[in-house]
Amino acid sequence: MLPKRAKSQNSYPTLDNGISSFYNFFSNSSDRFRDQHYYSESSHSLTESNYPRNQGSNLVSIIETETRVSPKPPSIKRILVVDDDPDITLTFKAGLDGVYYGDSDKKKRFEVYTYNDPLLVVKDFKPHFYDLILTDIYMPGMNGFQLCEKILELDLNIRVCFMSASRVNIQALRELYPKVSFGFFIEKPVSIKYLIERLAAELD
């Protein structure tokens, strides 16, 4: 006959030890946490010397204080590119969208929207949304100047720039379309680097 096991004072010694360790860990962690660095959303460290103890765990005001000295986000310059050639709009979108330019303390970023149908541009156009329209001149259904005449009726503040694979008489076009204010003119093909420089100069 096997001897009976002596009844333990505690039916769950492993569980009790685990709970005790868990409690001790978090009790000690609270002290360690106060001595660690705090980080705001702007990635500025808040050390022991500048952490206001009277605020306890309320970090909202700390974050607000720290972000006051954070650099401003770059301003967005929205560019509307219109060309009936999908390869052109795809290339310009890939080369320009998300590109930063300007001084380090006044960074700006291109945000590019593309269309291959000028008639659809007129239908979808949102006034006071775009900063600049860059359009091809010779397109089926509506040429670039006719398109810009329609656009300027909806938004007088948008800047207008043209591009073409053919040489054009700018002076003659100015006389033919007096209501269209011309920005720069680009002869295709064009490098993305040159295009960025011209767009940056026009938008500044």
Q: Are strands 38-39 and 185-187 parallel, antiparallel or unpaired?
A: unpaired
CATH number for the region 75-203 comes to 3.40.50.2300
Q: Which residue has the higher pLDDT, 204 or 72?
A: 204
Tell me the pLDDT of the chain averaged across its residues.
76
- Which residues of the chain does CATH 3.40.50.2300 include? 75-203
Structure tokens at 127: 């006034």
Structure tokens at 75: 């301003």
What was the pLDDT predicted at 22? Answer: 45
Structural element, H or E, at residue 35: helix 13-35
Confidence band for 151, pLDDT divided at 50, 70 and 90: very high
Are the beta carbons of 79 and 131 closer than 8 angstroms? yes
Torsion of CA 180, 181, 186, 191, to 10 degrees: -120
What was the pLDDT predicted at 162? Answer: 93
Q: What SS3 state is found at 45? A: strand
Residue for token digits 């103890």? 53
Residue 202 pLDDT greater than 50, yes or no: yes
Q: For the full predicted model, state whether its pTM sits above 0.75.
A: no
Instruction: Dump pLDDT digits (tens) for 111-143.
Output: 999 999 999 999 999 999 999 999 999 999 999
What was the pLDDT predicted at 125? Answer: 97
CA–CA gap between residue 204 and residue 186 (Å, rounded): 18
41 CB-near residues (< 8 Å, 6+ apart): 63, 67
CA–CA gap between residue 144 and residue 89 (Å, rounded): 15
What was the pLDDT predicted at 169? Answer: 72
On the 0-12 / 13-18 / 19+ scale of CB atoms within 10 A, 147 is buried
Residue 174 pLDDT greater than 80, yes or no: no
Residue for token digits 């969208």? 97
